[in-house]
């Protein structure tokens, strides 16, 4: 009669009491239990019974080797202001490894100018350079997770750069000279300013205001389009030249003006 006396953790094994054959009764998992030390008793049926104890060592082979698995998914999205500072944290990637292996992270593509640093252990991605949304509005990094057996997996990290109001409007040309007849019709369009702002949204939208030289209120400017109209009739004999100053401001924070 054979029986397992000790070491049968979780009851993972059974022994045939007649033949002594040991078989598994549960699914084994290297990650949970990498080996067993069983003590087997063999007992005869004589009177009195005599028995002997035998040790059986069972090593479990790790056949279920897993690559790291990014959590919660292998696509990460983050946004950071173009005004962010050196060393600012952008996001943290993470990975689990079913084998319990240590995982290390590296950026393998998408960062040719070395703008980002990833901490190989923690997965924290930091800014290492100066961003400019007007030059490069987004980055797509490929991050690799590697376990201690060399198995790898990859994640995509999309970083979009959000706008700061760091550009002033630019007008080209910056001054316009117009010759108009003194009998020009009131409400006629006289001149149009063409100004642009490299930022986005309210940081880009412009407001035009005449802030000098508009004596006798002869002219008006459309605040949105920058078109200047004559609004009162002219008289060559009284005034020959008007020199209008136009202020152009964007509507973003800290309004930038020319």
3-class state of residue 23 by DSSP = strand
Q: Which is nearer to Ca ion, 186 or 209 (CB)?
A: 209
Q: Which stretch binds Ca ion (CB under 5 A): 19-27, 53-61, 73-81, 95-103?
A: 95-103
Q: Which is nearer to Ca ion, 60 or 191 (CB)?
A: 60
Size of the site for Ca ion (CB under 5 A): 18
76-to-64, 93, 155, 162 alpha-carbon distances in Å: 27, 8, 8, 16
The residue with tokens 């600012």 is 88
Half-sphere exposure of 85 (CA within 13 A, CB side): 1
Residue of 101, 105, 143, 221 that binds Ca ion (CB under 5 A): 101
163 binding Ca ion? (CB under 5 A): yes
199 binding Ca ion? (CB under 5 A): yes
CB 165 within 8 A of CB 254: yes
Residue of 146, 153, 197, 219 that binds Ca ion (CB under 5 A): 197
3 binding Ca ion? (CB under 5 A): no
153 binding Ca ion? (CB under 5 A): no
Dump the DSSP string for 204-228: T-EEEEEEE--GGG-EEE-TTT-EE
Q: Is the dihedral of CA 87, 88, 90, 96 positive or negative?
A: positive
111 binding Ca ion? (CB under 5 A): no
66 binding Ca ion? (CB under 5 A): yes
Write out the residues near Ca ion by the rule CB under 5 A.
66, 82, 97, 99, 101, 132, 134, 147, 163-167, 197, 199, 203, 250, 256
């Amino acid at each position: 009669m054979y029986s397992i006396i000790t070491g049968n953790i979780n009851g993972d094994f059974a022994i045939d009491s007649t033949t002594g054959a040991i078989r598994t009764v549960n699914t084994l998992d290297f990650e949970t239990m990498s080996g067993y030390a069983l003590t087997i008793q063999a007992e005869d049926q004589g009177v009195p019974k005599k028995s002997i104890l035998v040790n059986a060592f069972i090593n479990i082979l790790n056949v279920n080797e897993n690559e790291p698995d990014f959590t919660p998914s292998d696509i990460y999205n983050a946004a950071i202001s173009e005004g962010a500072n050196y060393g600012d944290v952008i996001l943290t990637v993470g990975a689990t490894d079913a084998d319990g292996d240590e995982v290390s992270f590296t950026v393998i593509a998408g960062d040719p100018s070395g703008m980002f640093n990833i901490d190989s252990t923690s997965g924290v991605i930091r800014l290492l350079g100066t961003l400019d949304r007007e030059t490069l509005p987004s980055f797509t990094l490929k991050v690799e997770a590697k376990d201690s057996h060399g198995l790898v997996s990859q994640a995509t990290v999309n970083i979009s750069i959000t706008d700061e109001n760091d550009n002033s409007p630019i007008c080209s040309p910056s001054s316009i000279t117009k010759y108009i007849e003194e009998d020009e019709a009131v409400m006629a369009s006289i001149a149009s300013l063409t100004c642009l702002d490299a930022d986005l949204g309210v940081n880009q939208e412009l407001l035009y205001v005449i802030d000098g030289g508009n004596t006798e209120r002869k002219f008006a400017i459309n605040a949105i389009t920058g078109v200047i109209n004559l609004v009162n009739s002219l008289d060559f004999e009284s005034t020959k030249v008007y020199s209008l100053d136009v202020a152009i401001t964007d509507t973003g924070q800290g309004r930038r003006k020319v």
